């Protein structure tokens, strides 16, 4: 059973466009929602993260939108660039339980075309 | 990848063979994790260690054992490899109260 559902599975966006990836979660104990970026042959790396006490967080071209009542969060990549082509994973965890055991979504393969 | 060394990078095993994947971090963080990544399934937690001397099961622990040798090292052992364990394995670490988990470059394991 997938506790964090991610869509779409793959996404093609034109350079300069907006990439949007969506995630939904079930466990209301989750209180930390990061997005990880992974390039081929590399491990995932933290891109941006949000806590449920805010509805939006922006870092450069990357924005997380968070809807606590709907149990959904999304990643927006503005002015998408070819260098953004990678696999993106949403994740969730409960920090109050100690440690940071992440539950990941299934990933979105993003391709940004010229 | 920041502060973590995973070995080996690639490995081919025959069914029934055993092996140990090694992970070492130099950031002096308490928590360490082993994940496996399979196509279409994201990353799934196998085992984790909140601190030296403690380990606990994650989502998919069957067929694996772990050892937290010291604060730096966390190893994953496959006692009798099965084709279903063909995967890419990632070690990760982080502070207990820190929100970022740092991942290694992964070990690509094929069991034939």
Taking alpha carbons only, the member of B107, B80, B77 closest to residue B91 is: B107
CA distance B15 to B80: 7
Is the pLDDT at A101 greater than 90, yes or no? no
Q: Note the pLDDT tens digit of each residue in B63-93.
A: 999 999 899 999 999 999 999 999 999 999 9
Q: Are strands A10-14 and A108-113 parallel, antiparallel or unpaired?
A: parallel
Give the pLDDT score at A75.
Answer: 98
- Mean of the pLDDT values across residues A10-29? 96
With CA atoms as reference, the chain A residue closest to B90 would be A43
Average pLDDT of chain A is 93
Tell me what the mean pLDDT of segment B39-56 comes to.
91
Strand pairing class (A56-59; A33-38): unpaired
User: Residue A94 has what pLDDT?
Assistant: 85
Confidence of residue A2 (pLDDT cuts 50, 70, 90): low
Q: Please give the Cα distance from A64 to B69 (Å, whole number).
A: 38
- Residues from chain B that touch A34, judged by Cβ atoms under 8 A, are 99-100
By the 8 A CB rule, do B32 and B23 touch?
yes
- For A35-89, what is each residue's pLDDT tens digit? 999 999 999 999 999 998 999 999 999 999 999 999 999 999 999 999 999 999 9
Kindly report the average pLDDT of chain B as a whole number. 92
CB B76 within 8 Å of CB B46: yes
List CB contacts of A33: < 8 A, sequence separation 6 or more: A23, A25, A49, A50, A51, A52, A64, A66, A73, A90, A91, A92
Environment class of B98 (CB within 10 Å of its CB; exposed 0-12, middle 13-18, buried 19+): middle
Is there a contact between B1 and A45 if contact means CB atoms under 8 Å apart? yes
User: Closest to B96 (Cβ–Cβ): which among A44, A98, A106?
Assistant: A98
Is residue B17 a contact partner of residue B10, using CB atoms and an 8 Å limit? Answer: no
Of residues A98 and A86, more confidence is placed in A86
Report the pLDDT averaged over residues B36-43.
92
CA distance B38 to B43: 7
Per-residue confidence (pLDDT) for residue A89, from 0 to 100: 97
């Amino acid at each position: 059973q997938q506790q964090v559902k991610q869509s779409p599975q793959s996404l093609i966006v034109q350079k300069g466009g907006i990439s949007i990836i969506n995630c939904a979660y079930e466990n209301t104990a989750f209180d930390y929602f990061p997005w990880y970026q992974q390039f081929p042959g590399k491990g995932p790396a933290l891109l941006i993260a949000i806590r449920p006490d805010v509805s939006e967080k922006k870092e450069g071209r990357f924005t997380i939108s968070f809807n606590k009542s709907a149990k959904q969060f999304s990643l927006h990549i503005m002015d998408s660039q070819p260098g953004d082509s990678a696999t993106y994973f949403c994740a969730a965890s409960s920090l109050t339980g100690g440690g940071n055991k992440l539950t990941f979504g299934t990933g979105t393969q993003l391709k940004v075309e010229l | 990848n920041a502060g973590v060394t995973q070995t080996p990078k690639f490995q081919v095993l025959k069914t029934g063979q055993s092996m140990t994947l090694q992970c070492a971090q130099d950031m002096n963080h308490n928590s360490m994790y082993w994940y496996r990544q399979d196509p279409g399934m994201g990353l799934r937690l196998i085992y984790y260690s909140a601190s030296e001397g403690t380990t606990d099961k994650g989502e998919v622990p069957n067929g694996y054992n772990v050892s937290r040798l010291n604060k730096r090292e966390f190893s994953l052992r496959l006692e009798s490899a099965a084709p279903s364990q063909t995967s890419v394995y990632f070690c990760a670490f982080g502070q207990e109260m820190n929100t970022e988990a740092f991942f290694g470059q992964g070990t690509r394991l094929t069991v034939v």
